[in-house]
Amino acid sequence: MNWNNPFTKLLEIKYPFVQAPMLGVTTPGMVAAISNNDGLGSLPVGGLSAEKTIELIRKTKALTNKPFAVNLFANEYETPNSDEVTAMEKFLQDFSKVNGLPYQKESVENYSFHSYRELIGILLNEDVDAVSFTFGILDDESITALKEKKITLIGTSTSVEEALLLDEKGIDIIVAQGIEAGGHRGTFLTSEPLPKIGVMDLVPQVVKQVLKPVLAAGGISDGRTIKAAFMSGAQGVQIGTAFITSDESAAVSSYKSAILNASETDTVLTKSITGRWARGIKNKLITEIENAGIAIPAYPVQMHLTTPLRSYAMHHDNPDFISLWAGQSSGQAVMKPAAVIFNDLVKQAEDLS
Amino acid sequence: MNWNNPFTKLLEIKYPFVQAPMLGVTTPGMVAAISNNDGLGSLPVGGLSAEKTIELIRKTKALTNKPFAVNLFANEYETPNSDEVTAMEKFLQDFSKVNGLPYQKESVENYSFHSYRELIGILLNEDVDAVSFTFGILDDESITALKEKKITLIGTSTSVEEALLLDEKGIDIIVAQGIEAGGHRGTFLTSEPLPKIGVMDLVPQVVKQVLKPVLAAGGISDGRTIKAAFMSGAQGVQIGTAFITSDESAAVSSYKSAILNASETDTVLTKSITGRWARGIKNKLITEIENAGIAIPAYPVQMHLTTPLRSYAMHHDNPDFISLWAGQSSGQAVMKPAAVIFNDLVKQAEDLS
């Protein structure tokens, strides 16, 4: 199969397969494994500090000379409603107590969510090949600065309207994230009601309206689904869940087990964990926050509020109280080195040609 | 492109393209147009009387000698909660009054929903080629009787578990209905929470587990999506929304306009109109019943309760108070004869080969 197309040309990569950025799961080792095997790894740095971002980029560069993308969160802050924050904190404290978990409350001032604007200068200095982003669109100044450095820009859309806006802003490559995808929705125009478009409907409709290469995200788990995505008009695919169980993944063991054992009906869309819509395997944390019936503070505040619980649970490898982000094809995952998973996907797709 | 496969062989049809059964929209003329052009038309008779069923089958047979499927609702009745029914009736009466519509209440005894069991004898007598069904699985006795007459059976699944059950019961062909699909969900095992699996995830997972031919339903709107469905493992596709705007459709003019003008984000999943989960374009009827915050009686009771309103609105071509069932690719539809729409889909798919 000839994988040459405007997307692979733009990035000078062989395979139009992107490893999805998964904050808390993706490591420099995972990114490098994909890029070294001629796909495009994605290093997530959304919300991280400048120092941490530099460290991660350099770690990744130490492991690969090939192109990879650095992924930003392009959202703007929403001022949290302090009554809602107080109520949620109280709930989480009680909830932690009942479940025998410590809850070390952080003060709002200590929340360490950094705007992508703090990172643009670093990306320019560190000479990265591509910058991908989600939750919004970078501001015009950042877009201009990155484009002047010939950095390829990859934006995320969940509706035709969002894709058209990315196109209009001159973004080079447009990810169409179907509702099957695991983790956070990239939605940034209207999130209530959330667009819930299947990748099979979204990709062809976006392809019809934009001239830029479109990458299909969501539902891609094997050679067949890769080929189907290309058939539906995509010039590339973005794959996340399949790499959560890779050796290079930072996911704790119980998270990996949950992925391997999940059926296609086990994931839900929820705002409960971070305040933004995301797809994950339903566990006690999601169920109890949703059942509490109290308002969920906006992202990233809710994310910070659940962090103490999730950090403790992660440390103790307890899947009941962590975020088990996962797509609808989780059960198809395998535990192998990322390079083996990646090359097997390539081979499956090529064997179908 | 060679369309020969176990599915087309079984039905002795040329193109593995099924026109989805759409009660209230599909007419004998639509079914015949598809079958005469070597696809498989589907005649919906779910809930209809024996007399009406015979009439529709004979009308269709007068228009085509080719195979078509007759579609049944395989659900069991749920006893309605009479307090819920009373409350909903009261709400709908008030709602009708406020909106200047008459509401001629039917007594529950007059509800004319017929069990599929009343129709099996007719299907055996009328020498139909195929029987498709949704909302459940036909009882063993019906399956045996239909199979003895060499009638091909086509069941509907919305999860791997449902597909496995259909397979186990010896159903010949299995539809995998992705969440993109318009109209009622075929879900019959666990409907709360409703499985919401994208067709791109559902088809390959079902294909991996059953040996029977699998048809992809949901999201199929053009040559690309047809090819993508086959690539993902399907041996056929079922297409509904594309035919709502056909000349042979019974949809009123304002319903057709709503389909043509819908964007991919305009449909919602709702139980408000019939008591069963279904996807349609959001209108006043859905919004106000959902906002009422009262319990929705189970299907088919809620369907009967909203019928007076919907019949009146349909008669007056008022899209605010009818069911605008539609899939997520509604905006791709065109107003043409069903045969032209069908042949154009075939041509688009063949041109991509």
pLDDT tens across A169-179, in order? 999 999 999 99
| Distance from the A333 Cα atom to the nearest Cα atom in chain B, whole angstroms | 12
User: Average pLDDT for residues A73-98, to the nearest whole number?
Assistant: 91
Residue B232: closest CA among chain A residues belongs to which residue? A224
Instruction: Write down the pLDDT at residue B2.
Output: 86
Which phi and psi angles does B214 have, rounded to 5°?
-110, 135
How far does Cα A240 stand from its chain's mean position? 7
- Cis ω before A193 (30° cut-off from 0): yes
pLDDT of residue A241: 98
In angstroms, the CA B55 to CA B50 distance is 9
Does the structure show a pLDDT above 70 at A109? Answer: no
Considering CB atoms only, which of A207, A231, A233 is closest to B231?
A: A231
Nearest to B116 by CA among B28, B53, B184: B53
Which residues does chain B have within 8 Å of residue A228's beta carbon, measured at their own beta carbons? 200, 228-229, 231-232
- Whole-number pLDDT of residue A339: 98
Cα A235 from chain centroid (whole Å): 19
Instruction: Determine contact: A225 vs chain B, CB below 8 A.
Output: yes
Find which of A214, A265, A267, A345 to mutate to test the B interface (most B CBs within 10 Å of its CB). Answer: A265
- pLDDT score at A111: 63
Find tokens 């509604």 and name the residue: B330
How many helices (H) does chain A have, and how many strands (E)? 13, 11
- A255 to chain B nearest CA, in Å? 21
Q: Does A229 touch chain B (CB under 8 A)?
A: yes
Q: What is the pLDDT of residue A105?
A: 73
- Chain A positions touching B264 (Cβ under 8 A) are 159-160, 195, 197, 201-202, 205
Q: How far is B236 from chain A (nearest CA, A)?
A: 14
Q: What is the rounded CA–CA span in Å between residue B137 and residue B162?
A: 9
Q: Which of A160, A199, A264 has the CB atom closest to B263's CB atom?
A: A160
Q: Give backbone dihedrals phi and psi of A193, rounded to 5 degrees, phi first.
A: -75, 150
Cβ of B200 within 8 Å of Cβ of A201? The answer is no
**Largest Cα–Cα separation, chain B:** 58
B4 phi and psi, to 5 degrees? -65, 125
* pLDDT of the residue at B56: 98
Residues from chain B that touch A333, judged by Cβ atoms under 8 A, are: none
pLDDT of residue B79: 79
pLDDT at A79: 79
> What pLDDT score does B351 carry?
95
In this complex, the residue of B200, B202, B263 whose CB is nearest that of residue A178 is B200
* pLDDT tens figures, B244-258: 999 999 999 999 999
In the prediction, which pLDDT does A104 show? 81
Average pLDDT over residues B266-277: 97
Q: DSSP letters of B115-184?
A: PGGGTHHHHHHTT-SEEEEESS---HHHHHHHHHTT-EEEEEESSHHHHHHHHHTT-SEEEEE-TT--EE
Q: How far apart are CA B85 and CA B81, in angstroms?
A: 6
Distance CA A278, CA A327 (A): 10
Query: Cα(A183)–Cα(B18) distance, rounded to whole angstroms?
Result: 35
Closest CA in chain A for residue B332 = A205
Chain A, chain B: beta-carbon pairs less than 8 Å apart = 130
**Bridge partners for A155 per DSSP:** A174
Residue % of chain A over a pLDDT of 90: 93
Q: Quick one: closest CA in A to B207, which residue?
A: A224
- Give the β-pairing of B68-73 and B130-134: parallel
How many CB atoms within 10 Å of residue A127? 10
Cβ B233–A224 below 8 Å, yes or no?
yes
Return residues 139-158 of B near A (CB < 8 Å).
Answer: none
Q: Using alpha carbons, select from A317, A312, A316 the residue that is nearest to residue A253.
A: A317
Interval A348-352 mean pLDDT? 95
User: pLDDT tier at B109 (50, 70, 90 boundaries)?
Assistant: low
Q: What is the mean pLDDT of residues B157-185?
A: 98
Query: What does A84-123 look like in DSSP terms, one character per residue?
Result: HHHHHHHHHHHHHHHTT----PPPGGG--PBPGGGTHHHH
- The candidate with the shortest Cα–Cα distance to A133, out of A120, A121, A145, is A120
| pLDDT reported for residue B295 | 96
What are A261-306's pLDDT values in tens digits? 999 999 999 999 999 999 999 999 999 999 999 999 999 999 999 9
Are residues B193 and A161, on separate chains, in Cβ contact within 8 Å?
no
Chain A positions in Cβ-Cβ contact with residue B161 (cut-off 8 Å): 263, 265
Global pTM value: 0.93
Supply the mean pLDDT for chain A: 95
Range B34-44 average pLDDT: 98
B238 within 8 A of B225, measured Cβ to Cβ:
no
Write out residues 169-188 of B within 8 Å (CB-CB) of A. Answer: 178-180
pLDDT digits (tens, 9 = 90+) for A29-50: 999 999 999 999 999 999 999 9
Mutate to test the interface with B, among A196, A201, A207, A350 (most CBs of B within 10 A): A201
B224 in contact with A, Cβ within 8 Å: yes
Q: Span B193-202, mean pLDDT?
A: 96
Res B110: pLDDT = 58
In the predicted model, what is the mean pLDDT of chain B?
95
DSSP characters for B234-260? -SEEEE-HHHHTSTT----HHHHHHHH
Question: What is the pLDDT, as a whole number, of residue B78?
Answer: 75
Q: Among positive and negative, which fits the CA dihedral B167, B169, B175, B179?
A: negative
| Six token digits for residue A90 | 């109280």
Cβ distance B228 to A195 less than 8 Å, yes or no, reads: no
Distance, CA of A338 to CA of A329 (rounded, Å): 17
CB atoms A204 and B222 under 8 Å: yes
Q: What percent of chain A lies above the pLDDT cut of 70?
A: 98
The Cα–Cα gap between B280 and A63 comes to: 50
pLDDT higher than threshold 70 for residue B107 = no
Q: How confident is the model at residue B105 (pLDDT cuts 50, 70, 90)?
A: confident
Give the pLDDT mean for A332-348. Answer: 97
Residues 6 or more apart from A13 whose CB is under 8 A from it? A35, A38, A39, A40, A66, A67
From chain A, the residues in CB contact with B202 under 8 A are 264
Distance CA A220, CA A223 (A): 8
- Give the strand order in the sheet containing A214-217: A17-19, A236-239, A214-217, A173-177, A152-157, A130-134, A68-73, A41-44
